[in-house]
Structure formats: C-alpha cells, structure tokens
Amino acid sequence: MTTRMKIVELRVGDVTILRLIGRLELEEGDLTLRDHVDTLVGEGRVKLVLDMKDVTRLDSAGIGMLVSKFITARKRGGTIKLLHLTTRSDHLMEITKLSTIFEIFDDEDEAVRSFGTPA
C-alpha cells in the first residue's frame, strides 16, 4: 500500500513554495498536487515554486499534472517554477523538452527572487 504525496506549504511574500514529498504519479501525487494548486490559484496565489527534492518517483501522469497546473497558473497571470529536481526528474524534463517551458532552479532564494520578490 502506498501513501499519498504530502505537500508542505511555505509562503515568502506573494510566492508560495510547495515542498512535494513522495510519489508524483497516477492516483497518488497527481491528484494531491492538482487539488492543492487549484485551491491556491482559486485564492489568487499564482506565483508558485514546486520543490521536487523529495519526490521519490515521477511518472507520465505526474508530468502531465505539472503541465496542466502550469497552464492553470498561467491562465490566472502566474506561473509555476521548479526547484531541486532529482537526477531522474531532471532527465525526464530534458527528454520531454519541458525544461524549455519550466524555469528550473537549484537555489530556493534565486527561485523566489525570479518573481521579483525579495527572498
């Protein structure tokens, strides 16, 4: 039995950092991520950073959900940026060419500053 992905939320000014913990895959993390991002966007919090350091598995459903929520945020005038990709996640972003769509960071302060918000 697997456990659902956990999301720890941290706010820095108008930027929301979501630390994803667990598996971002079909029926596990993808629905958890969808619901959490939809709630934030509904509140007008559309400057999002997803910290993927503790994502233990990423599959096509997880990648699809990342793209879907990126589009959701963009439609509301915001964006989603990625932080601390694992080696596997980084490779998947490269082979799917999503690294040309998402801004990807290794430093949290730099990711937050990229929105024009002091870290």
Domain ranges of the chain: 6-113
| CA 80 – CA 114 distance, rounded (Å) | 11
Please give the DSSP secondary-structure letter assigned to residue 48. E
Supply the pTM of this predicted model: 0.92
Number of alpha carbons in the 13 Å side-chain half-sphere of residue 62: 20
pLDDT, tens digit (0-9, with 9 covering 90-100), for 71-113: 999 999 999 999 999 998 999 999 999 999 999 999 999 999 9
Confidence of residue 1 (pLDDT cuts 50, 70, 90): very low
Q: How confident is the model at residue 118 (pLDDT cuts 50, 70, 90)?
A: low
Report the pLDDT averaged over residues 30-42.
Answer: 92
Structure tokens at 103: 């801004």
* Alpha carbons 1 and 88: distance in angstroms, whole number: 23
State the architecture of 6-113 in CATH terms: 2-Layer Sandwich (3.30)
Structural Rg of the chain based on CA atoms: 13
- Helix/strand/coil for 14: coil
For residue 28, name the pLDDT band (cuts at 50, 70, 90): low
